[in-house]
Amino acid sequence: MPLDTTTLFVAYIICSLTMMGLLMGSYREERPRSVAYWTAWLGMHTLGMLLYAGRGTLPDVVSIILANMCITGGQSFALAAFQTFFARPLRPVLLVLPVALAALIASVFLNTPSARIPLISTLIGGQSLLLALVVLRHRRKADLTSLLVATPFLLNGLLLLGRGGSIGLGLETNYNLLAPSMVQTVSMLLILVTLLASSFGFVLMHRERTEADIKTMALHDPLTGCLNRRSFQFIMDKELARLGRGAAQLSLLLADIDHFKLVNDTYGHAAGDAVLVDLVHKAERVLRNQDFIFRYGGEEFCVLLPRSGRADALAIAERIRQTIETGEVRYAGQRIRYTVSIGCTCSAGTQEDQRERMFLEADRAMYAAKQAGRNQVRHFDDLNENVGKERQTS
């Protein structure tokens, strides 16, 4: 049984205005540009629906031409919201052209609804399909939120194309949007679902990104971009648990920049920061996909090598050392050369204090490299009992 179309129009307008108010209130202090575009989509679409509802009362130039321009303009704002959210360039032609086409079609076929409605429906339906495509192209695996946003646009686009085709072929002769019919009821319900589902999903997309950014900041070093000490503890424990399930050996490297205080005193702390970033970049070029590098603190870095024994640890540590020794950092017109001392240790055990023990062993090996003249690699297994256990000034 068809529902009252006027009631559906009113429900849509109330929901749209409510959603606009919630978005503006939620982001009143700092509103992302994508949210501003999305709010504009809601506003333009709502205005267009209001003008549609005035058919027969308002002049046709307002209820037909301007209404269709508002609807297509709203779709363009939705596209701008998605492109901005996904950090994609905005193409003005995709934003302005649909509005211009809607104005042209509505003006030329103002008194010929059998031609105007199929063309306008195809135009708006195509915009809806484009919106769904943009979201799905950036969808991550197992990302249900993107499906929540894209699916209503996809269904709405297909419905509009189908409706336009049925009117164009003469299969449907009801041109009045306010006249009750099953087609109009389904169309309005789907438009309402699109508004609610896509807006809710769009807010969730922002929330998920914010949570991901917070997690990234919590687990990564803000200067170098590599993992931080908190991540080291978590990943180290995870890899040690794998050892207990029969995984291969695990190796740990501890690297410390030689005479780092001298770098800061000579070139400045900003140059010292550049050296820290350079170390991570050079180490990442050497490391395998399975390996991890962490900034443990100051100029000290840990490298975790899963499924790696003594030979692999020494080979990778030596490659890191050589890459840094033979390179340089260019900063503010200056060429800065530096070296690192690296300590290594391996473990195939499952003791409860394994993380602390491995770190202390790598630490002893690293300071043995310092004592031997710096710019060297030492493995804990090679240390003799006379190596001092106290940390020396680097």
Domain boundaries, the chain: 5-219, 229-382
| Within this chain, domains 5-219 and 229-382 share the same CATH topology | no
- Which pLDDT does position 100 carry in this prediction? 96
The fold for domain 229-382 equals Alpha-Beta Plaits (3.30.70)
Residue 302's Cβ-count burial label (10 Å; 0-12, 13-18, 19+) is buried
- Residue-wise pLDDT for 238-275, tens only, equals 988 888 676 678 999 999 999 999 999 999 999 999 99
State yes or no: pLDDT of 393 exceeds 50: no
State yes or no: pLDDT of 392 exceeds 50: no
Structure tokens at 11: 């429900």
Mean pLDDT, the chain, rounded, equals: 88
CA–CA separation, 171 and 85 (whole Å): 40
Within 10 Å of residue 154's Cβ, how many Cβ atoms?
19
- Which pLDDT does position 188 carry in this prediction? 79
Task: Kindly state the average pLDDT of the residues 134-145.
Answer: 84
pTM of the predicted model over 0.85: no
- Residue-wise pLDDT for 338-360, tens only, equals 999 999 999 855 556 788 899 99
- Residue-wise pLDDT for 187-232, tens only, equals 778 888 888 889 999 989 988 888 888 888 899 999 999 999 999 9
Q: How many residues does the chain have?
A: 394
Per-position b or e across 168-196, b if 16+ CB within 10 A of its CB: beeebeeeebbebeebbbebbebbbebbe
CATH number of 5-219: 1.20.1070
Helix (H) or strand (E) holding 344: strand 340-347
